Structure 1
Amino acid sequence: MPSVTAPFSRRQMLGVCAVSILSPWSLTYGASNDMGFQLSWIKSIQYGGYFAGLEIKSFARYGINASFVSGGPNIDPIANVAAGQFQLGDRPSGPLVVARERGMPLKIIANVFQRSPMSIMSLASKPVRSVQDLKGKTIAVATSSRPLVLNLLREAGVDPSNVNIVPSSPDPSALVSGQIDAYSGYSTNQGVMLETRGVKIFSLNASDLGMPETAGAIYGRQDYLDKNREQVVSFLKGAVDGWTWALANPEKTARLMVDKYGAPGLDYNAQLAEIKASAPYLRAGRNKELLALDLDLYSRIIEMYRKVGMVKSNMSAADLCDSSFINAALAA
């Protein structure tokens, strides 16, 4: 699972607007039950429930022909969905808050990770046990997460100038080599990556530290969602069934990703460890329901982004999210 990406540049925004103006929405978003889904990262176990859905035909059972397109470091998934290239996509909550703030007509309709596994990780032999412990140390942080980490430091009474914050990469190996003292990433991804390499780590979950966040938020264009409610609800039903099966069958799901659906080179043991580590975060909502959308949590997320100056409008959770789709899917 990648870290939050940088906000949109002016060129990206103009490109999206141009494509949006030219796109024949009535043709792209017709009555077809084809559902193109833009993943935010490469195909791996973090999307295991979707591919389990393909395998057990849960999407087909609800009349949906779902396809999942890989993301990656050179792909802007939000721009692709906003431009109408795909009907739905997934992303951590932060970039979607920023996109909505900048005028992208997007709406979040469900959430795979009810609680974000975003963590501050350090070596177990040299643990960073608190935010205060970061004083005098070097931490790798995604560029777009930097304002949030700076706020976290200030809230903990740590002068940010006393912490060396450097850009992070998807691979946390710099932690092992001693180039950094801490790494801001996902305990279910980079953390598992290190653990399966035999590296023992210590993790501080960001939510526990006062940084509310989610991951795997499912979103789409407002106009598409408005015109295709039945298809979207049907897709979510298939996704819930797929994730339910994946969590009940982690070994089979890991094998499916390695042998059939995932990107080349996936390691079975790492995939299995990741889905097992992810399970508590997937069912962390109030009612332990898969893909549920917690508007109170999103209110806190928006307020956090407002506090660090990344949201200046009066955006509310209701502006950003629409829980009626997943509520209908879960009620069926």
Structure 2
Amino acid sequence: MWISRNRRFRGSVWVRSLVVVVSLGLILTACGGSDSEAAASNEATTVVEGGGASTALTPATFRLDWIITGEHTHFYAALEQGFFEEEGLDVEILEGGGSALALQQVANKDDDFGLAGFDALAASRAEGLPATMVANIFRRSPHVVLSLAETGIESPADLEGKTVGGAAGSSPTTMFNAFLEAADVDADAVEMVNLDAASYIPALLEGRIDAFVGFAPSQYPILLASTPEPPNVLYYADSGVVTVSTGVVVHPDTIEERPEVVGGFVRAVQRGLQWTLDNQEEAVEMMTARFPRSVEAEEAALAVEQVGVLAFGERTADAPIGWMSEEDAQQTLETLQKYADLGEIEPLENYYTNEFIDEDL
């Protein structure tokens, strides 16, 4: 890891990062425009000129899963490096309000593409909302148990007799019992406390809880920036929980009617992620230059590092970026059916497709 993990930005990041923590526990019911910094960063281009000819770009909107953070660096890399433009696309990246909102926007055809969790996609389809995942970015579960080094929680077994915070209804909380069962930990020996996500870190630092469940790309960097010693982190995936997560979703009609747009968008995202993982320091510098008021360099570097961890699962370690394993998808749905009350499982092709994945990337 190239970045030094010092604590020089603890104060300012702590205040700003609470906004991110709050965001992870909420789902907005409506979405206004992006803030001025985000809007300015898109730098839309509609015509490419070269060799005496001009080619009109196809406009497309992409709704993120939440406010812009370091874990979205690869999408802005695709924009900054011209990968979208090379595919003939003029992409506008918009801040979001949770996976549910991104899926709603796509289902209503208010946005062309969205970023959403596979669990939210499955739940939305169960409610009749049409959406399909065309690129699976997080192919390893982003859910983690975070604790202070001093608690000594270094393995799942260490959770017995401990108090763990989690927001009721959040996916890390919903999947916590799947984690405990996979790790052969008695769920009755762990006290689960319902907390608002904004309370996780204060409660941990004040000793009101021993640990909390959350998301690796966003909450781990925040906690690391707030403690003198690196926190302990237990990944659900390390105990055998297979739940694919965040990916790019589109309306099935878009796949049918504009496959060239979908293919171009997916290829650009694949290239953006690969470029980011290959050029992490440069990618972070790019991101902080675009969002100097809202993206901190060290936090973004840690988020990018976590994205690299989550982009490849056990079955997809050697697979092209974005490609989803049939076994992983099926296992995720069965886990959601058991622990998240997902109803009847549809045919897998209703949930995702690898049709647009460039296998050379």
Calculate the TM-score normalised by the size of structure 1.
0.83
Residue in structure 1 matching 2:266, options 236, 254, 265: 236
Q: Distance in 2 between matches of 1:279 and 1:286?
A: 11
* Alignment coverage as a number of residue pairs: 309
Question: Which residue of 252, 264, 271 corresponds with 1:222?
Answer: 252
The match for 2:93 is 68
Q: Aligned runs of 1:247-286 on 2, under 5 Å?
A: 247-260=277-290, 262=291, 264-284=293-313, 285-286=316-317
1:292 corresponds to 2:317: no
Alignment of 1:62-101 (within 5 A): 62-72=87-97, 76-101=101-126
Question: 1:82-139: CA deviations, max 9, x gaps?
Answer: 1111011111221111111221111111111221231111111113234443333221
Stretch deviating more after TM superposition (61-70 or 142-151) = 142-151
Match for 2:191: what amino acid?
A: V
Q: Quick one: distance in 1 between partners of 2:77 and 2:286?
A: 8
Change in 2 beyond 3 A, CA 1:239/1:154 = closer
Q: Matches of residues 3-14 of structure 1 in structure 2 within 5 Å? A: none
Cα 1:73–1:148, aligned 2, differ >3 Å: closer, same or farther? closer
1:78-157 alignment runs, 5 A limit: 78-144=103-169, 145=171, 146-153=173-180, 156-157=184-185
Do the aligned residues in 1 keep the contact of 2:113 with 2:249 (CA within 8 Å)? yes
Give the alignment partner of residue 189 of structure 1, picking from 187, 199, 218.
218
Alpha-carbon separation, structure 1, partners of 2:97 and 2:246: 15
CA distance, structure 2, for counterparts of residue 98 and residue 245 of structure 1:
32
- RMSD (CA atoms): 2.9
Structure 1, unmatched stretches of 5+, are 13-30
More divergent stretch after superposition (284-293 vs 63-72)? 284-293
d(CA) in 2 for partners of 1:75, 1:323: 22
User: Which among 230, 235, 246 is matched to residue 276 of structure 2?
Assistant: 246
Over 3 Å counting, the alpha-carbon distance change for 1:175 and 1:201 in structure 2 is same
**Cα deviations across residues 271-298 of structure 1 (Å, max 9, x unaligned)?**
1222123323224423242222222111
| CA spacing shift, 1:270–1:308, aligned 2, 3 Å | closer
Counterparts in 2 of 1:302 and 1:75: CA distance versus 1, 3 Å? closer
How far apart are 1:299 and its partner, in Å? Answer: 0.5
Q: 1:303 aligns with which of 327, 331, 334?
A: 334
Q: For the Cα contact (< 8 Å) 1:98–1:310, is it kept in 2?
A: no
Moved more, 185-194 or 144-153: 144-153
Shift of 1:223: 1.4
**Deviation for aligned residue 1:49:** 1.0
Does the 8 A contact of 2:106 with 2:250 survive in 1? yes
Aligned to 2:239, what secondary structure does the other structure show? coil
Structure 2 CA distance for aligned equivalents of residues 163 and 86 of structure 1: 41
Kept in 1: contact 2:114–2:249 (CA 8 A): yes
- Is the 2:135–2:247 contact (alpha carbons within 8 Å) kept by the matching residues of 1? yes
Q: Residues 297 and 5 (structure 1 numbering): CA distance in 2 closer, same or farther, change over 3 Å?
A: farther
Q: TM-score, normalised by structure 2?
A: 0.77
Equivalent positions of 1:155-174 (< 5 A) are 156-160=184-188, 162-169=190-197, 172-174=201-203
What are the residue-to-residue correspondences of 1:51-62 with 2, within 5 Å? 51-62=76-87
Unmatched 5+ stretches in structure 2? 1-19, 31-55
